[in-house]
Chains A and B, each alone.
Chain A
Amino acid sequence: MIDFLLNPWPWWFSGLIIAVVMFVLLFFGKSFGFSANLRTLCSIGGAGKKVKFFDFDWKKQIWNIVFLIGAVIGGYIAYAFLTHGNHPVEISESTVQDLQALGFSEPSSLQPAELFNWESALSLKGFLILAIGGLMVGFGARYAGGCTSGHAISGIADLQIPSFIAVIGFFIGGLIMTFGVFPLIFG
């Protein structure tokens, strides 16, 4: 049991818990959609005075911001109490090789130092990668009306055609980035 908790959790268990999270929120009368929080953050920051899209009663979204804070705490708990130290992620050998060809060393934790340690993140190129990537996630999620939780999980669970279209878009974008753009910016 302790080993099960401390080792990486299997995909089926993760999928099960994510479905549970979605249903618990539904039974609380809410819907599972994480990127809505980014809009709420803009609104809390006063964006509603200038841009109509952010002029809404953000107090009705406090529950979701509390959920976000919980997610941060959950990440901390997983790191501090539920791991054997900062173990490397066990990705497939072919991914390791593909990434080595792009200049990434073998994984030594959950995230590549080449992108996320401070030295990389605060270099000009590294900063631009994180900034532009983040900008696209935030812009795209709101334009598409949802992110992975809102479309890929909640939307498809309700068999909504717009969510299928959005998820196809997620993959088109992801494949263009992975196979078209990565060889240009890495390696």
Chain B
Amino acid sequence: MKFIKYLVVGILFGIVMAKSEAISWYRIQEMFRFQAFHMYGIIGTAVVLGIIGVALIKKFKLRDITGDPIRFYPKNKSVPRYLIGGIIFGLGWALTGACPGPMVVNIGYGFLSFGIVLIFATLGTYLYGVLRDKLPH
């Protein structure tokens, strides 16, 4: 059962997203209206700790559990794909109040209509795959 550890980490992720209300449509509205610190606090704390930790991993050349060095792959330099893709993502994020992680956490929480959002998000990804060669990257 080499996958069981990912199940455990996923459960931890789901619990914390639900318990800190990051899966709430209201919290995402509050964020985009700049009316509370809550979501900025969550993302900001994760980012600050992330920056420190990644720097330490690189400085001490830490290895993963299989003994390989932990690597970070630089993303391709470009502007259009990140900006246009990001804007389209942001439009959907504000409308449904959920990015992909919270969609599935909401389903577990009992808000089953997020299944509609998840199915169409999967179709959206399929649509991207179909149109990929015609889009500016």
Contacts and interface: CB of A to CB of B under 8 A. Distances in A.
B82 A39 contact: no
A43 to B, nearest CB: 9
Given A22-B46, A38-B122, A70-B8, 5 more contacts: A5-B19, A13-B16, A64-B6, A68-B10, A175-B94
Main secondary structure of the interface of A (DSSP, over half): helix
B134 to A, nearest CB: 12
14 contacts: A12-B45, A13-B16, A16-B45, A17-B13, A22-B46, A34-B101, A71-B101, A94-B35, A141-B125, A142-B128, A156-B50, A158-B50, A178-B33, A181-B95
Interface of B: 3, 5-33, 35-39, 41-47, 49-51, 53-54, 57, 62, 64-66, 68, 70, 72, 74-79, 81-101, 103-111, 113-114, 116-130, 132, 135
Contacts, number: 478
A168 B5 CA distance: 33
B85 A143 contact: yes
A143 B120 contact: no
Interface string A45-89: 001000111100000001110111111111111110011000001
A29 B9 CA distance: 14
Interface of A: 5, 8-30, 34-35, 37-39, 41-42, 47, 51-54, 62-64, 66-79, 82-83, 89, 91-92, 94-95, 98-99, 107, 110-112, 115-118, 121, 127, 129-145, 147-149, 151-163, 165-178, 181-182
Contacts of A181: 91, 95
Given A157-B50, A174-B93, A178-B32, A138 B18 contact: no
Contacts of B39: 11
Contacts of B130: 51
Contacts of A135: 92, 120-121, 123-124, 127
Contacts of A142: 85, 124-125, 128-129
